[in-house]
Amino acid sequence: MTQHPRVVSNVPALRRAIDALRRGRATVALVPTMGALHKGHLALVRQARRRAKRVVVSIFVNPTQFAPNEDFGSYPRDLKQDLTALAEANVDLVWAPNVKTMYPDGFATRIVPEGPAKAGLEDAFRPHFFGGVATVVTKLLVQCSPDIAIFGEKDYQQLKVISRIATDLDLPVKIVGAPIVRETNGLAMSSRNAYLSEAQREVAASLHRVLKDCARRIAGKEHIARVLDECSADIESVGFTLDYLEARHADSLAKVESIKDGPIRLLVAARLGATRLIDNVAV
């Protein structure tokens, strides 16, 4: 049986463990997660393995990025299964603080991101989200002091927000985005897919089909606003409630009107029953 990686859950133990990992000038990559690990996370770990000598994975379901009406309480948690997966992926260290360790009594400091965090995408529907992500990710980067940190492109706006923070705060870390990992039917892997029934999974897969079609039409120089309108209707016709389907500049997330304003990224968020899904593709 493969041995579980070492798990630390307080900051002094983390610091000692990271110092030990760094011996011999070894580089460290961090993969921040909220656990409930799936193949998408394991692809991030593999990418981390390729880019650094040592790999640290953090597992922390961050309460400050959930609104009171969201799924913090029911968010899937299975540390035992996560540790088994991380052992097989040959991870060196797991940083798994509890809420009191991350936000001790008296905690009173927050990062308030702007720029990509105010692009009118996720922030328009989850106004609390990027403040919570920015604060916890900044803490994780300071706590683990990695050379590289890997984030999935599925949370595309989040990746842009975190890159901006690292640049703006001169954090000595390289932020790397990793491609979306999909089920064979195209559904982007997400811990929240666990909420979907079998029938909903099939419907959910159509989100990616429509996105790809939308990207193909925009690349073929069709009128962007018209394509977005028609693809939005397609998404709603299979049973989704659409939050947004937008064509944005792939780096700045600014709105684009023509293919000439690109490179373009299409981003979508839609709800299927109680489950909210996000996805994106390059044009």
Stretch touching ligand PAF by CB under 6 A, among 17-25, 133-141, 223-231, 238-246: 133-141
Nearer to ligand PAF, 33 or 193 (CB): 33
For ligand PAF, which residue of 8, 14, 91, 136 counts as binding (CB under 6 A)? 136
Of the residues 41, 128, 223, 249, only one is catalytic, namely 41
The number of CA neighbours under 13 Å toward the Cβ of 7 is 15
Task: State yes or no: residue 59 binds ligand PAF (CB under 6 A).
Answer: no
Task: State yes or no: residue 177 binds ligand PAF (CB under 6 A).
Answer: no
Buried b (16+ CB within 10 A) or exposed e, 10-30: ebeebeebbeebeeeeeebbb
| Shortest CB 64 distance to ligand PAF, Å | 9
User: Got the DSSP string for 121-173?
Assistant: SHHHH-TTHHHHHHHHHHHHHHHH--SEEEEETTSHHHHHHHHHHHHHTT-S-
Task: State yes or no: residue 133 binds ligand PAF (CB under 6 A).
Answer: yes
Stretch touching ligand PAF by CB under 6 A, among 32-40, 180-188, 211-219, 239-247: 32-40
Stretch touching ligand PAF by CB under 6 A, among 15-23, 26-34, 95-103, 203-211: 26-34
Beta strands, E only, 45-147: 54-59, 93-95
Tokens at residue 159, please? 């990746």
Tokens at residue 150, please? 């890997």
For ligand PAF, which residue of 17, 30, 33, 144 counts as binding (CB under 6 A)? 33
Task: State yes or no: residue 155 binds ligand PAF (CB under 6 A).
Answer: yes
Give the CA distances from residue 178 to residues 76, 97, 224, in Å, rounded to whole numbers and listed in that order. 23, 25, 27
Give the CA distances from residue 42 to residues 82, 167, 237, in Å, rounded to whole numbers and listed in that order. 10, 26, 34
Give the CA distances from residue 255 to residues 91, 123, 132, 154, 155, in Å, rounded to whole numbers and listed in that order. 40, 15, 25, 19, 18
Nearer to ligand PAF, 125 or 239 (CB): 125
Nearer to ligand PAF, 155 or 246 (CB): 155
* Active-site annotation holds for 41: yes
Task: State yes or no: residue 62 binds ligand PAF (CB under 6 A).
Answer: yes
Q: Where do contacts with ligand PAF occur on this chain (CB under 6 A)? A: 32-34, 62, 65, 133, 136-137, 155, 158
Which residues does the annotation mark as catalytic? 41
